[in-house]
């Protein structure tokens, strides 16, 4: 879900003309030698364990997430609801005052978005591949099927905690770097280059405030920086239940686009 | 004699103290200008320069400056090294004339432009105090609330850093007051007779719209047919749902029109993405873009997403010196794509979010935080959009009930129809 929200900042960049820039990363300590580092498989599997275990993930048949997103510098805030189901069905809607409903979804190999400003759009290429990959239900467990390569590339300190830096490279699309705390095993930061309608945008997301939601530990606060904008996503609740299939039907205007 | 010497010593002491304080304010202003550009310019090396070396070069000069004017000149020299427009320092005396705060939300309903150094009424809002008082387009505003406009216009037009849009805003801000109040305005009417009127101040035209931290703005749209040509005008790229819906309806109802006129005169912009969204109703070819915005870490393409029911007939866009930001992105991009013909006068050349801040010494500092290149390869910032057909309003035409810019657009659309 985190990545699905990434493009919002880009949309707002066109509107709010934010002045601030993405922060320059702090100088990093020297990376540990690769032979000293645990394999990425080990780190990723440990993450699954510490967040609830494979069985807990696989017990979930669908997920409804509610929360808010906020662009504090611009004074924009609104509620969001996201639905997800296997294998890669997703639908989310965010209601932003002054813009309206911002929708996006994936279903049956199709990825789309729709908002009052730009209208309906069907994603293609890397953008589509990325949307479908991020929509993969329980993608954390099935990462081996989503990425061709996983590599531990170093150790960074984030908020005073040492973290393993793991790069996941998909067959199509941009690599995703994730930082896992050595101590807790939790993912605390992600970075990638998002492919959006407006171009490629470096995105960083800080993950925090993990809580047991729907049977697994999930971050309930995500602070995302992209295109000079900061978006704070706060998760209020996660319900795990089967979602009716029609929930993922694209809106009529998107279906019309698909026919073109 | 002794007492006179005492006075002179006191005066000298006071002068020295003032000078030292002034120098500190100038140094603080220099640091603010230098730091702002270091942190907010869209290039890590602003203008391709070693910005730290610039600091080392100019700080001693500021420290040795003997007056505020000299310090301002040195800071202007530093900004000139960027070789970019939209970086300027206004003297405090000019800044105070520009930074006029509205006296309230109340408006007499007058649209004003400075034509030949006169504040001329170019439009009257329907149902406004000005309309009820009989004010007509083409009248000249001589004074507002007892203050003559001529000196301020003279001073502001003399400064090359002050653009038309800034001037227009400074005058519009004077035409305000509390809702329900009255504003005493002296006009020169169509017969060049002085007319003193107390205009009722009402709610501004349109619907109040809120977008994030921006102050509430009143947004209106106007859609009509001029013969078989569609005409759509709106005052801001805000109130997204209403404006986009209004534009969508205008396009839909105009599928068989001879052409479409989009009037962006006086429109200072708003939500940048709306330029892409509206262009989607006019451009059928996929993967087209209006231009590209360059920020420090990101490049954003202003891509057009074609809508269902694209209007394919001739499109005329009307602009003037108060068309800025999103208006310029929209007009400039569609011009570059060959999709629209532009009529009017050169736009504000303020496509980007330029910020004007007050410096510690009281001067105003204007700077831009991103660069935007229109699809034709030209920076809009500082250049603006040059119309294909340059035609402006005149007082005479307004008094005669004509709008030469609309007339020129209609003529062109009719010729396109004939040619087809």
CB-CB: which of A10, A116, A226 is closest to B241? Answer: A116
pLDDT attached to residue A37: 94
Span of B12-26, B167-181, B400-414 with lowest mean pLDDT: B12-26
Is any Cβ of chain B less than 8 angstroms from the Cβ of A39?
no
B17 pLDDT exceeds 90?
A: no
Q: How far apart are CA B109 and CA A55, in angstroms?
A: 68
User: Any residues with CB less than 8 A from the CB of B107 and at least 6 apart, and which?
Assistant: B125, B128, B175, B176, B201, B202, B203, B204, B205
Mean pLDDT of B243-257: 96
Return the residue of A nearest to B213 by Cα.
A75
B11 pLDDT exceeds 80?
A: no
pLDDT attached to residue A158: 96
Q: Give the minimum alpha-carbon distance from A48 to chain B in angstroms, rounded to a whole number.
A: 33
A11 pLDDT exceeds 80?
A: no
Contact B266, B235 (CB under 8 A): yes
> Edge to edge, what strands does the sheet with B371-374 contain?
B299-304, B288-294, B371-374
pLDDT attached to residue A34: 53
Contact A155, A138 (CB under 8 A): no
- Model pTM score: 0.84
Span of A229-233, B191-195, B352-356 with lowest mean pLDDT: B352-356
A30 pLDDT exceeds 60?
A: no
Interface with chain B: mutation pick from A18, A69, A118, highest number of B CBs within 10 Å: A118
Task: Please indicate whether residue A13 or residue B137 has the higher confidence score (pLDDT).
Answer: B137
pLDDT attached to residue B100: 57
Q: What is the mean pLDDT of chain B?
A: 89
B85 - beta bridge partners?
A: none
A33 pLDDT exceeds 50?
A: yes
Mean pLDDT of A108-128: 94
Q: How far apart are CA A68 and CA A44, in angstroms?
A: 28
- Domain at A3-12+29-241, CATH class: mainly beta
User: Which string of b and e fits A64-97 if b means at least 16 CB within 10 Å?
Assistant: bbebebbbebbebbbebebbbbeebbbbbbbbbe
CB-CB: which of A11, A21, A73 is closest to B297? Answer: A21
pLDDT attached to residue B168: 87
Q: How far apart are CA B66 and CA A170, in angstroms?
A: 63
pLDDT attached to residue B296: 80
pLDDT attached to residue B111: 95
pLDDT in tens, B97-121: 555 566 678 999 999 999 999 999 9
pLDDT in tens, B30-77: 999 999 999 888 888 999 999 999 999 999 999 999 888 899 999 999
pLDDT attached to residue A226: 87
Interface with chain B: mutation pick from A74, A198, A231, highest number of B CBs within 10 Å: A198
pLDDT attached to residue B6: 36
């Amino acid at each position: 879900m985190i990545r699905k929200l990434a493009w919002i900042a880009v949309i707002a960049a066109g509107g709010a003309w934010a002045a601030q820039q993405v922060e320059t990363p702090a100088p990093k300590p020297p990376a540990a030698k690769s032979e000293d580092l645990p394999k990425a498989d080990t780190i990723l599997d440990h993450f699954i364990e510490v967040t609830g275990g494979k069985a807990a993930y696989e017990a979930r048949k669908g997920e409804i997430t509610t929360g808010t997103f906020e662009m504090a510098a611009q004074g924009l805030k609104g509620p969001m609801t996201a639905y997800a189901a296997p294998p890669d069905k997703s639908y989310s809607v965010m209601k932003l005052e002054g813009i309206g409903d911002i929708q996006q979804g994936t279903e049956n190999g199709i990825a789309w978005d729709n908002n009052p400003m730009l209208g309906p759009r069907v994603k293609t290429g890397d953008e589509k591949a990325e949307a479908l990959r991020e929509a993969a239900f329980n993608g954390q467990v099935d990462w081996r099927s989503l990425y061709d390569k996983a590599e531990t590339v170093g150790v960074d300190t984030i908020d005073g905690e040492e973290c393993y830096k793991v790069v996941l490279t998909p067959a199509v699309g941009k690599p995703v770097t994730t930082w896992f705390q050595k101590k807790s095993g939790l993912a605390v930061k992600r970075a990638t280059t998002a492919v959006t309608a407006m171009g490629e945008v470096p995105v960083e997301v800080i993950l925090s405030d993990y809580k047991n939601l729907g049977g697994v530990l999930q971050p309930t606060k995500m602070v995302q920086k992209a295109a000079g904008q900061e978006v704070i996503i706060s998760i209020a609740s996660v319900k795990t239940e089967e979602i009716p299939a029609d929930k993922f039907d694209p809106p009529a205007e998107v279906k019309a686009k698909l026919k073109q | 004699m002794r007492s006179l010497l005492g006075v002179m010593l006191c005066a000298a002491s006071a002068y020295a103290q003032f000078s030292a304080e002034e120098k500190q304010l100038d140094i603080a202003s220099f640091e603010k200008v230098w730091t702002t550009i270091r942190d907010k310019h869209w290039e890590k090396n602003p203008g391709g320069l070693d910005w730290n070396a610039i600091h080392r070069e100019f700080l001693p000069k500021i420290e040795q400056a003997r007056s505020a004017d000299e310090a301002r000149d040195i800071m202007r020299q530093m900004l000139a090294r960027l070789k970019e427009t939209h970086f300027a320092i206004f003297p405090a005396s000019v800044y105070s004339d520009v930074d006029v705060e509205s006296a309230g939300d109340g408006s007499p309903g007058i649209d004003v432009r400075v034509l030949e150094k006169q504040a001329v009424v170019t439009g009257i809002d329907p149902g406004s105090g000005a309309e009820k008082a009989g004010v007509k387009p083409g009248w000249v505003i001589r004074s507002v609330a007892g203050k003559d406009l001529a000196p301020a216009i003279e001073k502001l037009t003399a400064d090359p850093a002050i653009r038309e849009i800034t001037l227009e805003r400074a005058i519009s801000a004077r035409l305000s007051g509390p809702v329900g109040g009255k504003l005493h305005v002296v006009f020169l009417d169509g017969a060049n007779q002085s007319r003193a009127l107390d205009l009722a101040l009402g709610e501004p035209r349109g619907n109040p719209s809120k977008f994030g931290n921006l102050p509430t703005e009143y947004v209106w749209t106007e859609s009509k047919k001029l013969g078989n040509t569609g005409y759509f005008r709106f005052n801001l790229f805000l109130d997204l749902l209403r404006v986009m819906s209004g534009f969508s309806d205008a396009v839909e109802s105009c599928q068989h029109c001879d052409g479409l006129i989009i009037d962006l005169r006086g429109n200072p912009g708003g939500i940048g993405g709306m330029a892409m969204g509206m262009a989607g109703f006019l451009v059928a070819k996929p993967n087209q873009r209006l231009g590209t915005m360059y920020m420090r870490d990101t490049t954003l393409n202003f891509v057009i997403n074609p809508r269902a029911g694209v209007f394919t007939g001739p499109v005329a866009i009307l602009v003037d010196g108060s068309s800025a930001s999103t208006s310029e992105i929209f007009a400039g991009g569609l011009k570059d794509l060959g999709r629209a013909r532009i009529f009017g006068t050169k736009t504000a050349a303020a496509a980007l979010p330029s910020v004007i801040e007050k410096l510690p010494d009281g001067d105003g500092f204007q700077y831009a935080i991103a660069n935007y290149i229109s699809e034709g390869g030209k920076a809009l910032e500082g250049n603006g959009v040059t119309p294909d057909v340059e035609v402006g309003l005149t007082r005479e035409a307004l008094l005669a009930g004509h709008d030469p810019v609309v007339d020129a657009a209609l003529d062109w659309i009719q010729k396109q129809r004939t040619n087809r």
